[in-house]
Structure 1
Amino acid sequence: MRPSRVGVRHGSQVRAVTTGLGFRSCRCAFGGSVMLVGRDVIRYSSEEPRHFRVVWTEGDDVVLFDLDAPDTRLVRRPRAEVVDEIRAGAELLLDHAFDRHPNPAKLTDAQIKRRRKLFGLLQPLLERVPDIFDNRVRGRAVADLEREGVASAKTVHSAFDRYWRFGMSENALTPSFSRCGRGDRTPGDTKLGRRPAEGKPLGVNVTKQMEKIFQKGLDRFYVGNRKNSLKGAYELTMTDFFVDEVVDPATGKKQWFPKIEFAQSGYPSFRQFRYWYDKHPDILGIRRKRAGGSKYDKDMRGIVGTAVAGLMGVGSRFEIDSTPLDIGCVSEINRTVPVSRPTFYQVTDVLSKMICGIYVGFENASWLAAGLAVRNVVEDKVDFCVRYGVDIEADQWPVQGLNPARYMADRGEFEGFDATEFVSKSTVTVEVAAPYRGDQKGSTEKKFDQFHRLLRTKLDGMIEKQVRERGDADYRRDAILNLNEVTACVIEVAIFLNNHNKLVDYPRTREMIAESVPAIPVMLWDWCIDRGMDELTRASVSMVEFALLPVANATVTPMGYRYRNLYYKPAGREQWKVFDRARQDGVKAARVSYHPLRTTNIYLHEPGDDGADFVVLELTDRSVAYADVSFDDATALKKADDVDTANRQQDRFVGLARLSSNLGGTNASATSERKSPLTASQAQGHKSNKVIERDRERSRRGTGLPTTSVAANDVEPLGKALDGGAAPSSNDRDNRMNDYLP
């Protein structure tokens, strides 16, 4: 028992008391006034406390109902006498457990119908106060109802008792069906329930031991195996727990027989198994385990909150998601060439449901494709729509140059190193949804349904079924639109949803209701912007593109910034000094961003001269041949060259062997003509010897130009003409002097 608490209500002589039983009561001090009203409960303290309810009071009389009596007992007493008893020590209970307050959500239709019927019977009788409190008068009124066939006397008397006992309200008449019947019984040998049809086994009772077997079978074959139905789990339970396996010692063969105790009576029926399952105290837990936590939370849990709860305004959270668009495309060059379904990315503001960005293309769902949708968020929507032949006004799609506070995305493309770098470079927070929980991005999921429903009304080539059956039309044969035309149609749908589609059951705030703001995305967006209810930040296309680019480490070398075996340089020559330092002090690493599909430029993470957060690097002459291709293509080209080099090694070695043999043969032929090295005297005179050999080479070397022949007698040798006919000296020392002296 809890200790008593006493609290004084100022301005009156009445004291509030909490008794040891937990009831709050009033005690009147001497000389104070006491007011008695209907439904009050009075507690008389004695060895055995008694409780009475005030059912009627008028003038000097009070009618009390004995709450502790097993039957209906009404007592009519003078008001002054009851007041004196309260002043003498009786308690007027404020909080007690005598009134019945059932949970309306848990009432069945049968309970509500029964309660309404009983209250309808009592209502005209209760108007006959105070006569109805007289047992004889009440008895005659009940007898009249029974003679008229309205209800039995037992039913009406019981309704009166419950009405006064449980609070004198319609709720007091709520039937307690859970307390009806015999309750839990311990089955014996005798089969409970109706007898089976003639010829059928008698059946067995479901005992506590059998319920344990049912639980094991349910856990093994139903909860832990989603393929089995409840009927399949029942059958497997019967075969696993109610059949004995016997091995014949003579033949070694296995045989199966019903357990001895069930051979005559038969097995528990599926109806008994189903009844036990339906009454299982943790049936919701079983369903959660069978479906899985993610699927249960996504498709089977109760929904009591909203996605907009806790958001400051527009831009507090953008949701991004992708899906294959349910339409086939054809080539832009030739409409007879079918192309696969495009990927559709969509960015939606959670608060206003505004479609803030889209991407429609043939990139698979990836960080690159998601980045294109994020880029479209900050892009000028008027220029974007004009590229696809759609003319709009700026106020029809007023989302440009803005970044949200956070993105909610899937774990795939937005989980990893690229997303981390995006957060650090853009200051946008990325929230990742739980696996298999599409309901956490309910705004975008619902938009996908609306897009497909609206596109399907007019466009050819839409997919009607995800799995085609025999005889169904092939959407590829009906496809007629190219990618640009499909993108234009998607833009038209986005404009409609943003400007003309009123949201049904949107949870508007009190301020929105007061100002009659319709639940249309563009109006909700403008209303929040006008009142400063947003978490948007300014951003440019170049800033977002740079933030979205993957980040890697490049190497500063004397030949330039090397990344994936390609060399880059800054445009300004004054920034080339880093290459001098690399040659003198050694290479070092540098952080760069790159576009996976374009090798022409990479972006160095250093402040630029124009105030940007990066410096643009371009390919050097050494690597310019690989411009305007993707990095994967460049790597493939270099790999192909390496493979070609490896494949040519055999020819190289063959050629090298031939070269070695020819060089060795030439050397051996010369060695055969001179067996030993030159002597010291023979090694002299190499310059004059060179002149002689040069003249001999000149005489052997012809010319490709036409020449005329001259008679030998008509020409005087040039050397003889210059030296006056003197023969050249054969002395080597004289020759050296002639070479150097004038």
Structure 2
Amino acid sequence: MDLIYFNNVISIYAPQIELQGLYRVVAVSSDSTTLAKVESGDFKVSSLRKVSIKTLELLEEQDLIHAVELISTEKSKSSSQLNQNEKNIFDFRRKVMEPFFDSKLLEDLLLKGITIGRTVEDLAHKNDCSKKAIYNWFGQLCLHGFTESSLNPNFRNCGAPGKPRHWNPALELVGRKSNELRVNGTEANPQIGVTEFAYNRVLELYKLIKSPKKTDEDVYHEIIEILYVSKYEKKDNELVPVLPKEGTFLNRRQFKHLVDSVNKIEKLKLSTTTGHFERNKRGLSGKAWQHVAGPGHLYAIDSTIADLYLRSSINRAWVVGRPIVYLVVDFWSTAIVGFYVCWTGPCWDMAKVAIFCSCVDKDFIADQWGFTNQLYLDPMPTLPHEILSDRGEYLSKAASQTAINTMFSLSYNPSRRPDLKGLVEVLNRIMKDQQYAFVPGAIDARRKEMELRKYDPDSSVLTLNEYVKYLTIIFNTYNHNADRRNRLDVDMIADSVIPTPAGLWSWGHKVGLGYRKHTPISTMIKELLPTAPASVNRDGVYFTNQPYQSQLSLTQEWSANARNFGSSRIKVHYFPGTMSRIWWEGGASGLTEFTLAQTATTKPFISTDEYLDALMVEKLRSKNLEFQKTFNKLMRHFQTSKIISEAKAETERADLKRQQEVKPSIRETRKREANINQQLNDENVKSNQFHSNQQATENDLYENLINQVMLDSLEYDNEN
């Protein structure tokens, strides 16, 4: 057997025993050999064929075996021709597969019953690689020869990340074969591959057509029609595209593979709007407090509808609705410097009140709300250098004029870009999250579970004033407890800065980074509080139908002037959160304060909006009240008319009965009436005297009985 030796390639033609083709001798013993077919590119260990030596000798005698020289151009590179990456791979493969170059080992593994799987498992564990890779490399040795060059890496058809393998129509389509081809051996409509032209053109059209409103499937259909549909059929005056033959255009799987090669960020931008990407998907490039010099330089203001239902301060049985909450936040320290809760808005008048609450003395605000526990920061906030806001209600001539008069700057975010003042948006969410689990009537509108978004307005319990107290506690807790350790640099740590918003606020002002300026309270009232007309009449000064008083109006006798010379109107400033005070621009100090009079029909700490709502409710009920009044008057008229008609009828009957008698004069009639009344009075007096005597007798008997009991008690005590 000159042809049967290790690593030799032979050609066998023995169809009767299913041996036909080129085979490599992998292992040889005295009585058998193991052959590996080298024509197929898909090698498996299970395809190794064990053949007896006698069978091969018989075939050789019949001249059915011939020696063949097999030259593998793919593995013809020497190690010196490999680049560094290829050389590293080659060295690793050679190290792992070194035992398989030993023909004796192969004989033991393949012919003497020792399992090859055990050896592969040991090598995989020893060299930290997969068993699949070792089987693959063993297949390369069987196909290309048991030499080191057979382990050379070959990337000709492997592609690489970002480097696609374009299809050449002159070559066979690479990749997994279709099920039809694998089962039947042929394919009725073979699928074409992706040429370089199709690859570039599909990606070009995808980037052109793709939009947030179109899915990838919609884009696929449009691209197929553009690139591959060349015929149209006219049916019922409509052009219907004629699809090309199956397999002659890209299928859905190929299209998806092409689309997946598009850069992920670029694909994300194509799938959404530019604004949404900039707000929610863009990379974060900095911090909100960057480029802000220190505390007090830049405030951000924003409004939101509270996820909470409130009750009326006038009648708790009334559910008023959800209030508007304004937040004012310092950018550098992230501290909440002020807030305001109202029923009106969003509007610039209410935004001004929020700024007023942030910058005015806290004792003054405490007097307005009626409770002392207010937001506390040291030092107290003042008007800032700049206020950042959305466009909305803040972009107005009134806002610009207020900024000029109070000497602060206004800056605005671009349209639909709330993310540029995301700090306030986050604090809005924190406020809503804090109240949902603890406050009755709260709403969790952002929950994914639809069942947990349900709410019951009737379960609400807080009034506006009580909600302000609640938020004050929440915001004070945030200012003095929120973790800001990530803000501390080495200098702050060395200076023992408290890592909270309030701590950063205090330290920033302590080292001279803060911005503060004095603004008189009269100026802030004039510029930041809304105005409304008040009337001066004979009863005093009235605002929203409620009386107000001050020493100035009494000294200057405003009511006397109104009584004698007519009423007048004045413009006053008011704090919408309560009705306790109003201010008039006049007097010696330039601003006169009026307080709610004791004769007022409203409470001082009820908001103006709630009081006006109550008046509207009363007006709505006035229709029913008017109907009731009219009904009562009609009933009175009916009853009086009945009495009069009955009296007329009796009088007529009496006159007819006594027509023949002599009628007494009026004087005689009155005298008779007086005698009758006197007799009735005498009888009543006698009856009263009888009852009085009877009562006196009963009283005397009762007193005698009590006296006797007391005497008996005294005698008993003396005896003992």
* Structure-2-length-normalised TM-score: 0.50
Q: Name the structure with the higher helix share.
A: 2
Greater relative contact order: 1 or 2 (C-alpha under 8 angstroms, separation 6 or more)? 2
* Structure-1-length-normalised TM-score: 0.48
